[in-house]
Each structure stands twice: as C-alpha cells, then as structure tokens.
Copies of this chain bind each other. A is one copy, B any other.
Amino acid sequence: MTGTNDNEIGQYLSQIWDLLNSSEQELVRENTLIKHFKKNELIYRENEDPNYLMCIIKGKVKIYKEGIGGRSQIMRLMSPVQYFGYRAFFANEPYVTEAAAFECSSIAFIPMTIIEELIMENSQLAMFFIKELATDLGESDERTVNLTQKHIRGRLADSLIFLLDKYGTEADGCTINIYLAREDLANLSNMTTSNAIRTLSSFCSEGILTIDGRRIKILDEAKLRKIDKFG
C-alpha cells in the first residue's frame, strides 16, 4: 500500500464535492490521501477503529463479515465512485466488517473528524449521508430475506444479477465484468464453494450461461431473473 497526495481530488469525489463550497473543498483537498491497494489486499479489518471516509476511485472492493467457523459472508460490493468505511464511525463502534480489494484499487481516505465537522455546517452533506445509509439499510434488509428464504439456485441467480447490475458487462455485452473465485461467489450467496460450483455448472447445462474459468457469460438473463424471483 502506497500513499500519495493528489491535487485533483475533486474529480474523484464528485458526489460529495458538488455539495461543498470552495473553502470546504479546500479543507477536504488538504486532508485527503489516496492509497493504492493490490489484489486481495486488506483495506480495514474487524474491530479496528473507523477513522476515515473511504471513496473507491478505481477497482473493486468487497465488504464482508467473518462468520461462524471461518465462513465469510460478503455483505456489499463497491465500485467507483462509492463511499464506505464511515458507518461504524457514526454508530460510534469499531468495524464489524472487513474490507478487501478484489483487484488493484485506488481509494481516497478523508478523516472522519473532518467529515463530521463539515456535516455540522453543511446540511446538504448531512442529507447525503442520511440518504446513503437509508438506502444501504433497505438493501441490507432485502438481502437478509433473500439469503434466508431463497433456495440455492435463487440465491446464486440473485448474486449473478447483482454482479451484472453492479459491474456491467465487457464489450461483448454479456460477460460479467468481474472475475470472482467460486469461493467469493459462494460467500456472496451464502452457500458452500462446492454448491456454488455445482449450481453454476447446472445453469451452464441449462443454457443460462457459459463458463470460461472465472469469466461468466450470461446467455439468458430473463431465465436467470425468473429463477431469482421464483426459485
């Protein structure tokens, strides 16, 4: 992990940036640090103190929880330019999740003390975080029901559609633009790696998708959405 100051920070922080006046922007600019993470590198770990608002500039990040018996559950995936790492600070508790880079990623770090200061003076910024948290909470509740009530096929279909919506496709218009190990796919879908592999190859036999290593090409999105919805 290497730290670099960057004078063109505004272009990366679009959502927040536009809500700040020039002196606020100056304050953020002076205190933002961009760090680069290698593939699989840890960004923060459970029980650490949350001191920074993080904004993913480049790359892909997973936020996950280490559960029972080393079984991990991926809670959220981040893509540019999303904000993360701030929830625990506001809740006044240590991190209850961990974050790691899926691939080589660049992340902006802004001290939460600064953010807190700004929020107290800038109601637009406060509202931004309220909206972010409110949206995440709705999604978290949705996921809880998906993961607990759907069967394996439905859960995997759900994850694949989620990945498709989140990261889009390659130039061909159907290859999901993220390369996940089967284990990550399993951790996202609350199942064992064996079952992720097995179910994925079932989908393949059924003509829903093709597999080329970690490259997944969706052939029949409608069918996948049907499985997501009805099992």
Contacts and interface: CB of A to CB of B under 8 A. Distances in A.
Given A87-B134, A127-B120, A130-B130, A141 B97 contact: yes
Interface string A61-82: 0000101100101010000000
A73 B147 CA distance: 12
Contacts of A21: none
A16 interface: no
Given A126-B119, A142-B96, A134 B65 contact: no
Interface residues of A, number: 42
A136 B96 CA distance: 13
Given A91-B131, A133-B133, A140 B142 contact: no
Nearest to A87: B134
Contacts of A150: 68
A122 B87 CA distance: 21
A145 interface: yes
30 contacts: A65-B141, A65-B144, A67-B145, A68-B149, A68-B231, A71-B149, A73-B145, A87-B134, A87-B138, A90-B131, A90-B133, A91-B134, A91-B135, A92-B131, A96-B142, A119-B126, A119-B127, A119-B130, A120-B123, A126-B126, A126-B127, A126-B130, A133-B134, A137-B137, A140-B140, A140-B144, A143-B144, A144-B144, A147-B148, A148-B148
Interface of A: 65, 67-68, 71, 73, 75, 87-93, 96-97, 119-121, 123, 126-127, 129-131, 133-138, 140-145, 147-150, 190, 231
Given A73-B144, A120-B123, A140-B140, 6 more contacts: A73-B149, A90-B130, A126-B130, A130-B130, A147-B148, A148-B148
